[in-house]
Structure 1
Amino acid sequence: MHASVLKYFIEVASCGSVRKASERLFVAASAVNRQIHKLEDELGVELFDRLPTGLRLNPAGERLLKHAQETLHQFQVMRTELDALKGERTGHVKVAAMDSFFEELLPSAVEEFLQIFPAVTYTITSIQPMEVAQLVMTGQADVGLAFVGRVPGGVKVMSRAKLPIGIVLPPGHPLANRASLSLKDCAPYPFLRSSSHPVISAALSPDFAAFWDDMEPAATCNSTPLLKRLIMGGKGISCFSKIAFIEELKRGELLWRPFELPALNELQVGILVPTQRVLPHVTQNFVGRMARRLMQLEATAAAL
C-alpha cells in the first residue's frame, strides 16, 4: 500500500497534473487525487504548489520525492532478490509490434514493467502489421501487437480492442468538416504512405488494397513520428488508427475521420500469443498488463 501511494506521488510530480498521472497509471483521477491529499494529511504539510497551469513541487515535496524514489528503488531491489529465489521475476520478453504502438502504449508499458521487474530484458521489434503473427507463430516473438482479423493457426488473440484505421489530417484541411470519408474523397489530396505494402490484407478490403497500391504518394516513410510531423505541417493526409495520435487528437492538433468502408470500421487491434508453447510467468504477466492498457486506450480513443 505504501509503495502504491509513493508511486502515485512520483507520477504526479513527474506529470505536474493529477489527470495526466492518472492516465499513465491507468487509475481514476479521483483515486490519485485522494491518495495525494491523504499523504499530505498524514505528513501535515502540502507537497505541491497548486498553480493555474498545474501542480509544482514545493520544497517539502522535493524532499519527499527524493525519499520516495530511493524507497521504491530499494523496495524493487528487495522484491527482485526475493522473487529471483522462485525464478518468477527474471526472463526475456520478445515483442513484435506495428509502429503505431511505439508512440505511447509500448514505451509506457515497458517503463511500468521495468519498475516492477527490473531484472527482465527485452527484444522489441517494429514490423509491418501483417508480418506480426508470423513472428509470433515461429517463436521469433513471444507477444505480437497488430491489427487482427483472421489469425493463422498457431496464434491466438489474448485481448482485442476496436481501434480501426481512418484518415489523419490537420485542422483546416478541406476534408476536415466531413464526418466520414470515402476512398474517392481522399484521392485528390497528397497522401503520406507508411509503407509500400498495404497495412491490411486485400482479403479484408480489396478496395482499400487497390487504393493503396494505385496511389502516387507524396512520401513513403515507415517512421510514425516523421509522418506525424508531415501531417501537422500540412504536407498531406495519412491512414492510421488513433493509437499513435492520442495526445495530438486530445489537443486538437490533428483530426481523425473514419472511412466509409464497413470492413475498415470494424477493424480491431489485438495482442497475439502462440498456441503451441506456454509462455514464461513473467511474459504472461507482461501480456496481462498490456491487455489492461489496451482496454484503457480503446476507451480513451472512443471518447475523441
Structure 2
Amino acid sequence: MHANVLRYFVEVARCGSIRKAAQNLYVASSAVNRQILKLESEMGTELFDRLPSGIRLNAAGERVLQHIRGTLNDFHLMRSELDELKGERKGHVSVVAMDSLFVDFLPATVEEFSDAYPAVTYSIAAVPPHDVPMRVLSGEYDVGITYITKLPAGLDVVTEVPLPPGVVMASSHPLAKKERITFDECRHHAFLRLEGRSPIQGVTSNDFPAFWESLAPSVTCNSTTLLKRLIASGRGISFFSKLAFLDELSRGDVMWRPIDDENVNELTVGIIIPNQRALPHVTGEFVERMVRRLKHVELTLREF
C-alpha cells in the first residue's frame, strides 16, 4: 500500500546518510538516492540540505516526515487490528545479547521486523557475552547472540560470522599505525573498560587474566554508548567487536586493529537457539531476519 519511497525517506531522515539508510534497507545507495530525488521532484522542492557530513532535513522535509510518520502509524495500527481479527502474525520475541549489538544491529532488526509484524511484542536484554548461553538454555529467552565458544549441550548455532573483538581507538591514536596490537602494548595507553568480566576471558592465553586485572583503566562503566564517545574523542582505547562501531568505522572516526592472539582472532559472533524446544513461528521469522542482517553486516565490515 505504501511505495518504497516512504520507507526510504524515513530511513534517510533517521540516519542522516543515504549510505547508512541503504545498508539498513538492504538496497543499493543509488536506489535510495533515486527515490529521494524522485520524491523531491514530485514535491517541487528539496527536502534535505546536503552537507559535507551527510544530509539533514530542511523545513519542507520536516513537514513531509511528519505526514509520512502519521500515515505509516495509521497503516501499522490498521495492520495490527487486522492481525487481531485473523489471529495471525502475533506473538512475542525474546532475545538476549551482548551489549555491542544494542548500538545498531538489534534496533535496526526490530524496526524492520515491526513493519511486517506490527502486533509482535519484544523482550530484549543486554548481558555479558558469557551469560548469554545460560539465559537461552534456561528458557528465560528464546534466542541469544554472543561470541561462540564451547556451548553447553542443548543449544544450536543458527549462524556465525567472524567478527572477533579487537582494539578500537581514535583514528589519530599512535596504535592505529600498527597492523596488530599486543596486550602488553595496550598496557601503556589509557584504557576504557566495560564493567565486569572481559568478553575474551577464557579464550586467550593463561596470562590474560593477570593482564586484565593489572590494568588501571581511566574509565570503567557499563555503557557501550559512553565508551564509544570517549574512544572516538581520543580519550583511550578499548576491546570491542566492529559491530559496535559501524558508523564510526565507515566515517573514519575510529580504527579497529586485531589483537595479536590467534585464539581471539578465531572468535565468531553467532545466533544461538535451544534444540530441546520448538520456537514459536514468529520467533523463527525474527531469527531469519537476524541471520540475513548479520551476514550483511559481515560483508559491510570486511573493508574496515
Q: TM-score, normalised by structure 1?
A: 0.87
Task: Go from structure 1 to structure 2 and tell me whether the alpha carbon gap of 1:148 and 1:205 turns closer, same or farther (over 3 Å shift).
Answer: farther
Matched ranges for 1:69-80 at <5 A: 69-80=69-80
- Matched residue, 1:2: 2
Matched ranges for 1:200-219 at <5 A: 200-203=200-203, 205-219=205-219
Task: Go from structure 1 to structure 2 and tell me whether the alpha carbon gap of 1:88 and 1:17 turns closer, same or farther (over 3 Å shift).
Answer: same
Q: Does the 8 Å contact 1:46/1:61 carry over to 2?
A: no
- Matched residue, 1:282: 282
Task: Go from structure 1 to structure 2 and tell me whether the alpha carbon gap of 1:60 and 1:272 turns closer, same or farther (over 3 Å shift).
Answer: same
Residue deviations 1:276-297 (CA, integer Å, cap 9, x gap): 1111122112211122221122
Identity across matched positions, percent: 50
Matched ranges for 1:85-124 at <5 A: 85-124=85-124
- Matched residue, 2:167: 167
- Equivalent position amino acid for 2:47 in 1: F
- Equivalent position amino acid for 1:302 in 2: R
- Matched residue, 2:266: 266
CA distance in 2, matches of 1:230, 1:299: 27
Residue deviations 1:134-181 (CA, integer Å, cap 9, x gap): 000111111111111222211111121211111112233332211111
Task: Go from structure 1 to structure 2 and tell me whether the alpha carbon gap of 1:174 and 1:37 turns closer, same or farther (over 3 Å shift).
Answer: closer
Residue deviations 1:43-92 (CA, integer Å, cap 9, x gap): 48455356455556678766654553333333323332333344332222
Residue deviations 1:211-252 (CA, integer Å, cap 9, x gap): 324433333322112222333344432111111112222223
- Matched residue, 1:243: 243
Matched ranges for 1:27-106 at <5 A: 27-37=27-37, 43=42, 45=44, 48=47, 51-53=50-52, 65-106=65-106
CA distance in 1, matches of 2:37, 2:187: 54
Matched ranges for 1:107-256 at <5 A: 107-203=107-203, 205-256=205-256
- Equivalent position amino acid for 2:110 in 1: V
Task: Go from structure 1 to structure 2 and tell me whether the alpha carbon gap of 1:225 and 1:210 turns closer, same or farther (over 3 Å shift).
Answer: same
CA distance in 1, matches of 2:64, 2:133: 46
Q: Does the 8 Å contact 1:45/1:60 carry over to 2?
A: no
SS at match of 1:271: strand
SS at match of 2:88: coil
Task: Go from structure 1 to structure 2 and tell me whether the alpha carbon gap of 1:221 and 1:278 turns closer, same or farther (over 3 Å shift).
Answer: same
Q: TM-score, normalised by structure 2?
A: 0.87
Query: How many pairs does the alignment contain?
Result: 303
Task: Go from structure 1 to structure 2 and tell me whether the alpha carbon gap of 1:49 and 1:174 turns closer, same or farther (over 3 Å shift).
Answer: closer
Task: Go from structure 1 to structure 2 and tell me whether the alpha carbon gap of 1:143 and 1:180 turns closer, same or farther (over 3 Å shift).
Answer: same
Return 5+ residue gaps in structure 2 as ranges: none
Q: Does the 8 Å contact 2:83/2:119 carry over to 1?
A: no
CA distance in 1, matches of 2:88, 2:275: 21
SS at match of 2:89: coil
C-alpha displacement at 1:258, in angstroms? 0.5
- Of the structure 1 ranges 51-60 and 22-31, higher mean CA displacement relative to structure 2 is found in 51-60
Q: Does the 8 Å contact 1:96/1:145 carry over to 2?
A: yes
C-alpha displacement at 1:35, in angstroms? 3.5
CA distance in 2, matches of 1:194, 1:215: 12
- Of the structure 1 ranges 188-197 and 53-62, higher mean CA displacement relative to structure 2 is found in 53-62
Q: Does the 8 Å contact 2:48/2:61 carry over to 1?
A: no
Q: CA RMSD in A?
A: 2.7
